Amino acid sequence: MARINTIESARAIWDSLPIAKLAANPKINTPGQDLGIKAIAGCLNKNNGKWRATPPKEHDAKLLWKLVKFHRSTGNLHSWPWFAPKMLTDQLDTLAILLLGGRSDAASNWQRVLGR
């Protein structure tokens, strides 16, 4: 079975995201292209090119994987990466939400609970 070139796949995913529009807003922390592509590539399965079922070992990819998992979840704060550097977390959190099509089940649940 041929291995998938995860860098090429990640670059295609990156190119499909509206990251440039968000990067124009100085209030939104967005990752640079190199960081974004590297983190996405680390989260892709090398055998089939789909999102990994288990977290990768590389730090940035693992953080992105955990953030995507958090935003897909009900919002249990136990799964939030509390000890990661804030700027990196903010950048990859923006990327995670973009990868999920701008939708966060966790944020929606927290807004509902807080009555917003």
Q: pLDDT digit string (tens) for 81-97?
A: 888 899 999 999 999 99
Q: Contact at 8 Å (CB) between 9 and 46?
A: no
Q: Indicate whether 99 belongs to any domain.
A: yes
**Once rounded to an integer, what is the mean pLDDT over residues 8-31?**
93
Encode pLDDT of 32-67 as tens digits. Answer: 999 999 999 999 999 999 999 999 999 999 999 999
Element (H, E) at 25: none
Please give the Cα distance from 93 to 70 (Å, whole number). 10
Residue 49: C-alpha distances to residues 54, 62, 82, 90 (Å): 14, 16, 29, 26
Q: How confident is the model at residue 76 (pLDDT cuts 50, 70, 90)?
A: confident
Q: Indicate whether 37 belongs to any domain.
A: yes
Q: Contact at 8 Å (CB) between 80 and 57?
A: no
Amino acid, res. 79: S
Q: Indicate whether 44 belongs to any domain.
A: yes
The domain tally of the chain equals: 1
Q: Indicate whether 16 belongs to any domain.
A: yes
Name the pTM for this structure.
0.88
Q: Contact at 8 Å (CB) between 46 and 24?
A: no
The pLDDT of residue 88 is 95
Residue 63 or 106, more confident: 63
Which residues sit opposite 44 in a β-bridge? 51
Q: Tell me: pLDDT of 24 over 80.
A: yes
In the DSSP assignment, the letter for residue 51 is B
Domain that holds residue 102: 6-113
